[in-house]
Structure 1
Amino acid sequence: MRGKKLSLLIVDDEKSIRYGLKNGIVWSEYGIEVIGIAKDGEEAYKLIQAEPPDIVITDIKMPVCDGLSLIEKTLSQGTTISYIIISGYDDFKYAQKAMKFGVTSYLLKPIKKAVLIEEVTQVCNKIREQNKENQSKTVVTRKIKQGTQAMKQHFLMSLLHSQLRSVLEIERELKVCKSKIKIQNLTNILIFTYEHALEKKELGSLKGDIHLFKSAVCNIMNEILGENVNEIFTDSNDFIVVLLQKPYICVNEDRFLERVCKRIIRIVNDFCRVEMCAGIGNEVSGLLELHESYRSAREYLSYRMYESENTVFDEKILAKRQPPDSFASTRNNTKLIDAIYISDHETILSYTDEFFESLFYIEFPPPNFVRGMCIYLIINVQKELSIYLNEEDSLFKENDYAYINKLSSFQKIKEWIVTLFHIYAEYFSENKNAQKDEVIEKVKNYIDEHIYEKITAEDIAEYIHLSDKYFMNYFKDKTNQNFKSYVLNLKMEKAKELIRQGNKTISEIAHMIGYTDYRGFNRIFKKHFGQTPTEFQDKYKQYK
């Protein structure tokens, strides 16, 4: 069940694209209704004002009002629209600005129908999950959960994500949760993370009990902060969040929060043997602005990706100098593309080293900039390499680059990208020589047609008018495989296929694929698959 249909608005200055997107996909099959199309951002804005859609697919470059201006204008008014950008421009500055607005779907024209459908489906799933979380509770549910931690958690998360838009809404929720937090009061958000401990699968003396660990941390925080602490809870990222409202009880307020965070981290490490980091959000005037403190705390905490000696991050860590908009466009990746295509692993490594060094125009560049540049590099490499691939090739996974955002450290990002490029290089090494080679294709067709016969290199060489030795060398050079091994692999796979069909005996199958000696076939099959033909047959019947 998809539930209620989601609404979609399509914006593009090209008429053929507007109507192609509207009529080229049966949107109803995906639980979507197209409620309008617009030729520019201004027309789209009027439609949004009249009936805000759930999703907007928009071009960037359009007359009167472009796509980015439309996004900025609507988001500034508090809308929760999910945007999917389609553009013929792969300039990084557009993608960078889109990411700044929280847009994660950025597709380059021309767009494959399957890619767009997958992207829209992912966005729809996120919207439906969010809608499910944000469904207003019935009066009965409110009475049942009134004053409980679940209700308070929901309220606090709503504050962090700016889902409560008025003082009246906040007052109502405060009464339901029986919280003593003040609406108008200087407030800070502190965020603590222990993700590195989870990656190492160790939680010190707590032996992996995550619930016990979080309970211990909360007790430590309450003990240290005393009357200062207003709320401690975990968010959707499993960060431990502390909400503090002034006045803080301290002799010298300067750097008080930094000192407190360091003390908490030190005691947790001593008691639980778990390393933590903390981000201190900017001070805000009240609960309506709490999401800004939360956002800034997460931004500062993101600098932990550099794995420096710092454990507490606040506004001091921010880069004093922003990277130039032209950073990406000035790089020429031809050397890297050529190295991948010819499988030059040494050059791939040296180039990626140079690339990562170039990102450090200052000691700690903005993490979003580093991640964005890495994503841009992968998109560019995939685009350049695609000219060497056929339509049916499956070298690139959809949104492969998105995995970068799941990696917690700069070193992990670097290692992952280097590994990815080596995988690309191996693919070309294994496939490019065999592609579109008429001799090899002729040989493979011959083998397929005579798979039930005894096939020798001498027969093949005579068939394609080459000497035995030259043919053997040629085949290995073009396919990266030994001829005999190639034939043997095909015969063994054919044997497996015949065994699965179940209408012939093992002995008959052995003779069919060219083995007069049953025991020899039995021995080779076991060496190839780690089990005898009979064992394979029995297991297949068991799980069939």
Structure 2
Amino acid sequence: MLKLIIVDDEKVIRETIKNLIDWKSIGIHVVGVCKDGLEAYDMIQDENPDIVMTDIKMPGIMGLELIEKAKAVNSDIEFIILSGYGEFNFAAQAMRNGVQHYLLKPCNEKDIISVISEVKDKCYQKRALKEQQDSLLYNFKKNVLRNTVTECLATPDMLDSLITAYEKFLDFSNTPYHLFHVFYLEEKDLLDFLKDLYAFETRCTPGICLSPVYVKNTLSLFFEDFQKNYDELNNFILSWQKNNVTALVAEQITYPNLRALLSDLLPKIARYDTIYTLNRFQMIPTYNYNALLHSVNSIAENLTSGDLHKHQLGSLETEKLLNPIEDIEFLKTMISSFLFQSPLASASQVTEFLVKMNSCTIPSKLKDYFYQELDAFFPKDIAVHHYKDFIQKTIQCVEENLSNPDLSLKWIVDNYLFMNVDYVSKQFVKETGLKFSNYLNKIRIERAKQQLLQKGSNKMYSIANEIGCGNNPQYFSQFFKKHTGMTPTAYVKKMNTTLQV
């Protein structure tokens, strides 16, 4: 589901737009409404929206400046301009800067839905293309999805706890998913069908990350729902012919999120003796290894307990569990299960290991490599950290990049953490008690106060640059006043007076 922020300095307009439309029914989640550009900029950093619908003339930061600053934080945000008749020149200027959509006030429900529909298609096209271009991210997501399915099949009664372990890598709650069941597809025809399917995907639906699961004569394909019409894919399935196969049947189901899909799909396929997950044209069988996969959870508890004796016990249990396994694909699944149980591992750390692991074909070498890296994923002193590792890295990045005007949680995630930005945002609040934008503003204000007392208000160009307001003392002054209730000059004067007294 795409996220939307509405910005307008007139309360009646922003609230009317929010309440006029059943946003959920058209695949949009309104994450907030804002009364001015400063408030909107903070919310953009916290919520990482896909779409921002903004007034063009507002006090403080105007719409054009908001667009410019937000685009620096996240160039993928799509903007919709709200403008009156007398403001069309501003809207035209925004369009010259890349904004392609606007609504003329007053606008009705039909106008809004029409524009939103166009913007949605563009957002999903950009998302699909970006994932396709980022082959590492694409393959990583497929790896996580495949591992999730395999573990859930082994421990169907532990779906909620497994989701908790994987949610920092994958969104289980907010992104809708689409499922195709392909019936009457015999195993002897499966690989031929997949070859044609992937050729069709590359040609007609690039960027869709297909996750196939096969049980006796039935192939289940699920993927993120881009809110598109899938008639072409349906027609491809129904018209596929090879080896005299002409009787395929397709069934489509849309789910609000991945959790709902797994809750429905897994019980239906778990009754089969052999279930195949597929990595392109490689069939990976899942047998009755329930007990083995279930053991990973209890061993991981020892490894993450913070107790040295339990950690040593967990290391021995890990080797005892993995040593007998000679099926290289199942071994990789088991090791992946351990990796995703680590509370401190970042996506980049896991991804680097998975890339090396996937190139390994000898079970003994893979086990040795994993045992060598075990302490990196499960440190012995794991319990003494004040913050989780990726939260500590986020705080460190703020300190080191405070002067960067484009500094945001998304920027840190994209350049340092390589994790799910929504997960990091929620964990940041949980660990620090502050939204990221509030924390960033707090640090910037503290640094500004310190520099104002040292350098004085006549050095506002320098201070503005140092705390990330760019070469813009006017914006710095607005920012400082919003968060302290006084201008920088008034603050310096007050503090000097206080010190003299």
* Same fold, judged at TM 0.5 (above): no
TM-score range, shorter chain: under 0.3
Scaled by the length of structure 1, what TM-score is found? 0.25
Scaled by the length of structure 2, what TM-score is found? 0.27
Comparing both chains, which one has the higher relative contact order based on Cα–Cα distances under 8 Å and sequence gaps of 6 or more? 2
Larger radius of gyration: 1
